[in-house]
Amino acid sequence: MQRAGGAEQDGLRSITCLVTGGVGFIGSNLVHTLVALGATVRVVDALVAGHGGDIRNVAGVDVDVLTTGIGDPAVADLVDGADIIFNLAGQVSHTASMSDPLADLELNAVDHARLLETIRRVNPEVRVVHASTRQVYGRVATLPADELTAANPVDVNGVAKLAGEQLHMVYAQAYGLRATSLRLSNVYGPRQRLTSNELGFLPVFIRKALLNETIEIFGDGSQRRDCLHVDDVVHALLTATDERAVGRIYNVGNQRDHPLSEIAAMIVAAAESDHGVQYVPWPLDHQRIDIGSFRTDSHRIREELGWSSSTELSDGVKQTVAFYRENPWYLSSI
């Protein structure tokens, strides 16, 4: 991995970090890294059922966890005195955002306004790195999508996440809050919730292959996606604490993309699954919010901060499969 700027380079021994959503997939991987680097880590996580948070994700790690939402005034105590806030809390299911739009708006936008108000009041100098998603782009006019491509979200999740990141930028602009937002691509790796079919295609593919079940792909599998190993995301989050990133939005994607058919084949091979892939017609409700092939242009973060993804998909998939073989409870109980 490259080591360019940001908190990682400087060492974290005297640093206090607050990680919101810190027992979820990306959050818990970040917490493991932060603690290993010597940081003092605080976590707030609402542990909403089905959102991917599980306290076992941080088992054995020296970290304090407050179980509540980021809009809770009690979070002020964790914000106070923090040097960096990694703001990863949110709802990530696109289908859930359509069945309960109000909850998604609340968790991905309104609660972030509450947190930003808390930060402004309690600790206006803190560094804030927010996790957004490439889902904000939706179905765009031209690919690859860079940060100047007009967002056209196709689900409530994309609308609410975009509002959440824009709130960070407004607070940076209007109040000098030192905030950055990263639009993360399709993330996979250890500590991801695998049992749901609603949290993206990667955990579903991985679960099916590990359980020796057939992976179903809607359509012909020619749609392309770029996949990011969670280690690369953790590295991007640390890199984004660089002072040059204040007030900026960055795409965080893998420069290499693959058709879904190829991604599935790699996962099947890594898991040594006897069952391959089956191509099935699109369900109507999925087709309506499908965006076809998608490619992120991440040149801004590469050029401005020196970050790029370093995990090849085939390597990342092998490492991920090995993790779940060693931690089989992810296949059934999270």
What CA–CA distance (Å, rounded) separates 331 from 323?
11
The alpha helices in 22-100, defined as continuous H runs, are 25-36, 76-79, 94-99
**Which residues have C-beta within 8 Å of that of residue 161, sequence separation ≥ 6?**
90, 108, 109, 132, 133, 135, 136, 153
> Which of residues 162 and 313 has its CB atom nearest to a copy of itself in the complex?
162
CB of 75 to a copy of itself, least distance (A): 15
Contact 270, 209 (CB under 8 A): yes
Beta-carbon-side half-sphere exposure of residue 224 (alpha carbons within 13 Å): 12
Place of tokens 């049992």: 195
Tell me the per-residue interface mask from 162 to 191 with a copy of itself, x by CB under 8 A, - otherwise: xx--xx-xx--xxx----------------
Q: Which of 153, 190, 200, 203 binds a copy of itself (CB under 8 A)?
A: 153
Told to check if 159 binds a copy of itself by CB under 8 A, we report: yes
Told to check if 109 binds a copy of itself by CB under 8 A, we report: yes
Tokens of 306: 């020196």
Q: What is the distance, to the nearest Å, from the Cα of residue 255 to the centroid of all Cα atoms in its chain? A: 17
CB of 321 to a copy of itself, least distance (A): 34
> Which of residues 155 and 231 has its CB atom nearest to a copy of itself in the complex?
155
Told to check if 216 binds a copy of itself by CB under 8 A, we report: no
Q: Which of 21, 158, 189, 190 binds a copy of itself (CB under 8 A)?
A: 158
Tell me the per-residue interface mask from 219 to 258 with a copy of itself, x by CB under 8 A, - otherwise: ----------------------------------------
* Residue range at the interface with a copy of itself (CB under 8 A); choices 1-9, 36-44, 150-158, 186-194: 150-158
Q: Which of 151, 199, 210, 230 binds a copy of itself (CB under 8 A)?
A: 151
Beta-sheet pairing, 258-259 with 84-87: unpaired
Q: Which of 4, 37, 68, 152 binds a copy of itself (CB under 8 A)?
A: 152
CB of 148 to a copy of itself, least distance (A): 5
What CA–CA distance (Å, rounded) separates 28 from 51?
13
Told to check if 143 binds a copy of itself by CB under 8 A, we report: no
**Which residues have C-beta within 8 Å of that of residue 52, sequence separation ≥ 6?**
24, 25, 92, 192, 193, 196, 199, 334
CB of 249 to a copy of itself, least distance (A): 9
What CA–CA distance (Å, rounded) separates 306 from 188?
22
Measured CA distances, 317 to 31, 56, 271, 311 (Å): 21, 22, 9, 9
Told to check if 288 binds a copy of itself by CB under 8 A, we report: yes
CB of 309 to a copy of itself, least distance (A): 23
Taking the CA atoms of the chain, what radius of gyration do you get in angstroms? Answer: 19
CB of 198 to a copy of itself, least distance (A): 15
Positions in the binding site for a copy of itself (CB under 8 A): 98, 101-102, 105-106, 109-110, 113-114, 116-117, 141, 147-156, 158-160, 162-163, 166-167, 169-170, 173-175, 285, 288-289
